[in-house]
Amino acid sequence: MRSFLLLLLVLLPAHALAFAAYPGFTLSNMPRWSATPVQGAGLHDGIQVGIAPGFAASFGLTDPAEIAAFDAALVQSFRVWETPDLHFDIQFDAAPGREIDVFSATSQDPIFQGNVSTGFSFLDQWFITGVTLTSGAVITGPAIVKSSIVVATDRFNILFSLLLGGGLATPADYTNRLINLMAHEIGHSLGLGHPNESTSWDDDGDPLSVYQPADPLNPVAGLVATAQLDSFAMMWGGQRPDFLRTDLRPDDLSGRNALYPTVPEPGLLLLLAAAAAASRKGSLRPQPSQAPMAENPPALS
């Protein structure tokens, strides 16, 4: 088994920066958390995360030290996505109803029937004319107002046992596997899809560069569709070749930066806005005003 997995790693495609929007949405209409409140939810006070009571215990953990390490890894899986404008406020043993709720289940749960997924993410979003980007631009589009993440604990433990049996992991890697899974699901909760299952976007084809929008007011300007994908990306759909990665790849970071562009210094922001005004491609131009519309995109694993 070890030889087969190592051969698989050798045969994987070459890397290239690429990311995908959540299924059913276009590049200029990606769902995201608004920087100002929409239905009370948004980035203004950090995304409120609730970890269900007994989450670590549902994985079979009983030792206090193991539970503490597990909880720390769970927090880290959120922290890898953070920027100065994108932050999570995480509460353990929380009652359902926070902006992102994290639950456990088993493979017998109906949502895990007919698939081999270990986790699923669900989004609730409102299509409105007042979605505020982290750069301050206001656009029309879908604002995420709620997300839920569900993990099948038995499948998680079975897969980790297979990694142990194949010599591809040690017991100490248990928390790395948790970060790997949860960071993927959190990416969905932020609005990203699977680059290998949706149209993917690139700016320069450099596999080592991280996309930083030249115009934070129009963060998707200059991106084009690409067929070159990075199978090691955290957001890769299906069984990824690196089950223990704990950091984000350039394309994961690029997708985050397109959704939640970093705000430059105030003076530079004004210069960028003026320079980009003439060449802006209009992918984020305001659309006709309409009443907010609640939508429920498909769940992603």
User: Per-residue pLDDT averaged across 30-56, rounded?
Assistant: 96
Structure tokens at 221: 């300007």
* pTM score: 0.83
- Greater confidence (81 vs 226) lies with 81
Indicate whether 281 pLDDT > 50.
no
Helix, strand, coil percent values for the chain (each to nearest 5):
30, 20, 50
Q: What angle do CA 24, 189, 265 make, to 5 degrees?
A: 100
Domains along the chain? 2-295 (3.40.390.10)
Indicate whether 215 pLDDT > 60.
yes
From residue 140, give the alpha-carbon distance in Å to each of 58, 88, 136.
41, 24, 13
pLDDT at 12: 30
pLDDT at 133: 95
pLDDT at 106: 97
User: Per-residue pLDDT averaged across 6-22, rounded?
Assistant: 42
- β 100-105/138-152 pair status: parallel
Give residue-wise pLDDT tens across range 157-185: 999 999 999 999 999 999 999 999 999 99
Percent residues over pLDDT 70 in the chain:
77
Least reliable range by pLDDT among 11-15, 22-26, 86-90, 294-298: 11-15
Band of pLDDT at residue 300, cut at 50, 70 and 90: low
Q: What is the C-alpha separation between 159 and 280, in angstroms, rounded? A: 47
